[in-house]
Amino acid sequence: MFFDSTPNFLYPDFFEAGKFKLSKNLFRRVRARDSINAIFSSSVKYTIKSGQTPDQIAYDLLGDSSHYWTILLINNITDTQTQWPYDDYELDKIIEDRYGTLADKIRHWETKEVKDSYSNIVLDSGIIIEVFSNTTAQNASSYTPTWSWTYVYSRSDSAVTERTLTGSDLYPTTNREYEHQLNDLKREIWIPQPSSIAMMETEIEELLEYDTEYKITEEGWRESEPVS
Protein backbone atom coordinates (compact mmCIF):
# COMPACT_ATOMS: atom_id res chain seq x y z
CA MET A 1 0.00 0.00 0.00
CA PHE A 2 2.86 2.39 0.84
CA PHE A 3 4.39 2.10 -2.64
CA ASP A 4 0.96 2.24 -4.26
CA SER A 5 0.63 5.68 -2.67
CA THR A 6 4.16 6.77 -3.54
CA PRO A 7 3.92 9.39 -6.32
CA ASN A 8 5.42 8.98 -9.76
CA PHE A 9 7.91 11.28 -11.41
CA LEU A 10 9.31 11.64 -14.90
CA TYR A 11 12.75 10.10 -15.25
CA PRO A 12 14.79 11.34 -18.26
CA ASP A 13 15.70 8.75 -20.87
CA PHE A 14 19.46 9.24 -21.32
CA PHE A 15 19.46 7.33 -24.60
CA GLU A 16 16.88 9.48 -26.37
CA ALA A 17 16.76 13.22 -25.74
CA GLY A 18 13.37 14.60 -24.76
CA LYS A 19 11.98 11.21 -23.80
CA PHE A 20 10.93 10.29 -20.26
CA LYS A 21 9.97 7.24 -18.24
CA LEU A 22 7.40 7.18 -15.46
CA SER A 23 8.98 5.93 -12.23
CA LYS A 24 8.17 5.76 -8.51
CA ASN A 25 9.74 8.55 -6.45
CA LEU A 26 11.52 6.34 -3.90
CA PHE A 27 13.20 9.41 -2.39
CA ARG A 28 9.87 10.68 -1.08
CA ARG A 29 9.86 10.67 2.76
CA VAL A 30 7.13 11.70 5.16
CA ARG A 31 6.56 12.21 8.88
CA ALA A 32 3.27 11.92 10.70
CA ARG A 33 1.50 15.23 11.24
CA ASP A 34 0.86 16.44 14.77
CA SER A 35 -2.89 16.28 14.14
CA ILE A 36 -2.87 12.57 13.45
CA ASN A 37 -0.31 11.84 16.18
CA ALA A 38 -2.86 13.12 18.66
CA ILE A 39 -5.38 10.56 17.40
CA PHE A 40 -2.91 7.77 18.13
CA SER A 41 -3.12 8.27 21.88
CA SER A 42 -4.56 4.74 22.09
CA SER A 43 -1.35 3.24 20.67
CA VAL A 44 0.53 0.77 22.86
CA LYS A 45 4.18 0.75 23.86
CA TYR A 46 6.32 -2.07 22.54
CA THR A 47 9.96 -3.11 23.02
CA ILE A 48 11.63 -4.42 19.87
CA LYS A 49 13.42 -7.74 20.35
CA SER A 50 16.82 -8.37 18.82
CA GLY A 51 16.51 -9.18 15.12
CA GLN A 52 12.85 -8.16 14.77
CA THR A 53 11.95 -6.24 11.63
CA PRO A 54 9.03 -3.86 11.06
CA ASP A 55 7.19 -6.36 8.86
CA GLN A 56 7.59 -9.13 11.45
CA ILE A 57 6.15 -6.93 14.18
CA ALA A 58 3.31 -5.85 11.88
CA TYR A 59 2.46 -9.51 11.22
CA ASP A 60 2.62 -10.50 14.91
CA LEU A 61 0.72 -7.53 16.34
CA LEU A 62 -1.38 -6.18 13.46
CA GLY A 63 -2.03 -9.43 11.60
CA ASP A 64 -0.60 -8.21 8.29
CA SER A 65 3.08 -7.74 7.45
CA SER A 66 2.21 -5.19 4.75
CA HIS A 67 1.17 -2.77 7.50
CA TYR A 68 4.81 -2.34 8.58
CA TRP A 69 4.78 1.22 7.28
CA THR A 70 2.18 2.23 9.90
CA ILE A 71 4.71 1.39 12.60
CA LEU A 72 7.37 3.48 10.87
CA LEU A 73 4.98 6.39 10.36
CA ILE A 74 3.67 6.61 13.91
CA ASN A 75 7.24 6.52 15.27
CA ASN A 76 8.55 9.04 12.71
CA ILE A 77 11.09 6.53 11.41
CA THR A 78 12.21 7.56 7.94
CA ASP A 79 15.47 5.58 7.79
CA THR A 80 15.49 2.06 9.23
CA GLN A 81 19.26 1.81 8.67
CA THR A 82 19.93 4.36 11.41
CA GLN A 83 16.67 4.63 13.40
CA TRP A 84 15.87 0.93 13.87
CA PRO A 85 17.84 -1.08 16.47
CA TYR A 86 20.61 -3.36 15.25
CA ASP A 87 20.44 -7.03 16.12
CA ASP A 88 23.06 -8.35 18.54
CA TYR A 89 25.39 -9.63 15.81
CA GLU A 90 25.25 -6.40 13.80
CA LEU A 91 25.84 -4.26 16.87
CA ASP A 92 28.84 -6.29 18.04
CA LYS A 93 30.33 -6.04 14.53
CA ILE A 94 29.84 -2.26 14.49
CA ILE A 95 31.43 -1.93 17.94
CA GLU A 96 34.47 -3.99 16.97
CA ASP A 97 34.93 -2.04 13.73
CA ARG A 98 34.50 1.31 15.47
CA TYR A 99 36.54 0.76 18.63
CA GLY A 100 38.77 -2.25 18.04
CA THR A 101 40.76 -3.10 21.18
CA LEU A 102 39.16 -0.16 23.01
CA ALA A 103 35.65 -1.63 22.85
CA ASP A 104 35.66 -2.59 26.53
CA LYS A 105 37.59 0.45 27.77
CA ILE A 106 35.85 3.21 29.70
CA ARG A 107 34.24 5.87 27.54
CA HIS A 108 32.78 8.09 30.24
CA TRP A 109 31.65 8.32 33.84
CA GLU A 110 28.03 8.96 34.73
CA THR A 111 25.89 9.53 37.80
CA LYS A 112 23.89 6.98 39.73
CA GLU A 113 20.46 7.84 41.04
CA VAL A 114 20.58 9.55 44.45
CA LYS A 115 17.67 10.00 46.85
CA ASP A 116 17.39 11.99 50.02
CA SER A 117 16.10 10.65 53.33
CA TYR A 118 12.52 11.24 52.15
CA SER A 119 13.02 9.06 49.01
CA ASN A 120 12.96 12.11 46.74
CA ILE A 121 15.27 11.85 43.74
CA VAL A 122 17.83 14.62 44.03
CA LEU A 123 20.17 13.41 41.29
CA ASP A 124 19.12 11.49 38.18
CA SER A 125 21.10 8.54 36.91
CA GLY A 126 22.83 8.61 33.54
CA ILE A 127 24.15 12.19 33.61
CA ILE A 128 27.52 12.11 31.84
CA ILE A 129 30.19 13.83 33.94
CA GLU A 130 33.40 13.22 32.04
CA VAL A 131 34.14 11.73 28.61
CA PHE A 132 37.43 10.15 27.59
CA SER A 133 38.87 10.13 24.12
CA ASN A 134 39.71 6.69 22.78
CA THR A 135 43.42 7.23 23.36
CA THR A 136 43.14 8.16 27.03
CA ALA A 137 40.54 5.45 27.66
CA GLN A 138 43.29 2.83 27.56
CA ASN A 139 44.48 3.90 31.01
CA ALA A 140 41.07 4.84 32.42
CA SER A 141 40.71 1.81 34.69
CA SER A 142 42.95 3.41 37.31
CA TYR A 143 41.47 6.89 36.93
CA THR A 144 38.95 8.60 39.18
CA PRO A 145 37.25 11.78 37.92
CA THR A 146 37.81 14.99 39.83
CA TRP A 147 34.19 15.70 40.73
CA SER A 148 32.15 16.47 43.80
CA TRP A 149 28.53 17.31 44.43
CA THR A 150 26.91 18.28 47.71
CA TYR A 151 23.21 17.91 48.41
CA VAL A 152 20.77 18.15 51.31
CA TYR A 153 20.12 14.65 52.59
CA SER A 154 17.68 15.59 55.36
CA ARG A 155 16.23 18.69 56.92
CA SER A 156 14.60 19.38 60.26
CA ASP A 157 13.75 22.41 62.38
CA SER A 158 17.04 22.10 64.20
CA ALA A 159 19.49 20.88 61.56
CA VAL A 160 20.26 20.35 57.90
CA THR A 161 22.25 17.27 56.95
CA GLU A 162 24.33 17.45 53.80
CA ARG A 163 26.18 14.72 51.95
CA THR A 164 28.90 15.02 49.35
CA LEU A 165 29.50 12.69 46.41
CA THR A 166 32.89 12.35 44.72
CA GLY A 167 34.29 10.78 41.60
CA SER A 168 34.37 7.36 43.26
CA ASP A 169 30.55 7.49 43.42
CA LEU A 170 30.24 7.69 39.64
CA TYR A 171 29.57 4.75 37.33
CA PRO A 172 32.12 3.98 34.57
CA THR A 173 30.61 3.16 31.17
CA THR A 174 32.60 1.38 28.47
CA ASN A 175 32.38 2.03 24.75
CA ARG A 176 30.50 -1.25 24.34
CA GLU A 177 27.99 -0.38 27.08
CA TYR A 178 27.48 3.08 25.57
CA GLU A 179 26.66 1.68 22.12
CA HIS A 180 24.25 -0.83 23.67
CA GLN A 181 22.55 2.00 25.56
CA LEU A 182 22.06 3.97 22.34
CA ASN A 183 20.75 0.90 20.56
CA ASP A 184 18.34 0.06 23.39
CA LEU A 185 16.82 3.54 23.18
CA LYS A 186 15.66 2.65 19.67
CA ARG A 187 13.82 -0.43 20.92
CA GLU A 188 11.00 1.50 22.55
CA ILE A 189 8.32 2.20 19.95
CA TRP A 190 4.56 2.71 19.66
CA ILE A 191 2.25 0.26 17.91
CA PRO A 192 -1.00 1.62 16.40
CA GLN A 193 -4.31 -0.04 17.06
CA PRO A 194 -5.58 -2.14 14.11
CA SER A 195 -8.66 0.11 14.02
CA SER A 196 -6.39 3.05 13.10
CA ILE A 197 -4.99 1.46 9.92
CA ALA A 198 -7.67 2.81 7.56
CA MET A 199 -7.19 6.32 8.89
CA MET A 200 -3.42 6.00 8.48
CA GLU A 201 -3.86 4.89 4.88
CA THR A 202 -5.72 8.13 4.18
CA GLU A 203 -2.99 10.05 5.99
CA ILE A 204 -0.15 8.53 3.99
CA GLU A 205 -1.93 9.18 0.71
CA GLU A 206 -2.30 12.86 1.59
CA LEU A 207 1.29 13.19 2.81
CA LEU A 208 2.82 11.49 -0.22
CA GLU A 209 0.65 13.20 -2.77
CA TYR A 210 1.91 16.09 -4.85
CA ASP A 211 0.76 17.65 -8.07
CA THR A 212 2.03 16.15 -11.31
CA GLU A 213 2.46 19.00 -13.76
CA TYR A 214 2.82 16.94 -16.91
CA LYS A 215 1.55 13.68 -18.33
CA ILE A 216 3.43 11.26 -20.54
CA THR A 217 2.36 9.44 -23.70
CA GLU A 218 2.51 5.67 -24.15
CA GLU A 219 5.58 6.18 -26.36
CA GLY A 220 7.38 7.98 -23.50
CA TRP A 221 7.10 11.58 -24.70
CA ARG A 222 6.10 14.25 -22.23
CA GLU A 223 3.07 16.26 -23.30
CA SER A 224 3.26 20.01 -22.96
CA GLU A 225 -0.07 20.73 -21.30
CA PRO A 226 -0.25 20.37 -17.50
CA VAL A 227 -2.47 17.70 -16.00
CA SER A 228 -5.62 19.25 -14.58
Alpha carbon distance 68, 189 (integer Å): 13
List beta partners, residue 152: 162
Residue 221: per-residue pLDDT: 55
Reported as a single tens digit per residue, the pLDDT across 23-52 is 544 444 455 555 555 556 678 999 999 999
**Mean pLDDT of the 172-197 span:** 92
Angle between helices 88-99 and 175-185 (to 10 degrees): 140
pTM beyond 0.75: the answer is no
Is pLDDT above 50 for 226? no
Of 88, 81, 42, nearest in space to 191 by CA: 42
Give me the sign of the Cα torsion angle 140, 142, 148, 154: positive
Alpha carbon distance 203, 226 (integer Å): 26
Reported as a single tens digit per residue, the pLDDT across 61-115 is 999 999 998 898 888 898 999 999 999 999 999 999 999 998 998 899 999 999 9
**Mean pLDDT of the 174-190 span:** 95
Residue 41: per-residue pLDDT: 67
- pLDDT band at residue 198 using 50, 70 and 90 as cut-offs: confident
Is pLDDT above 90 for 195? no
Reported as a single tens digit per residue, the pLDDT across 115-170 is 999 999 999 999 999 888 655 555 656 788 889 999 999 999 889 999 999 998 99
For 52-83, the DSSP string reads --HHHHIIIIIS-GGGHHHHHHHTT---HHHH
Between 13 and 80, where is the model more confident?
Answer: 80
| CB-based contacts of 38, cutoff 8 Å, min separation 6 | none
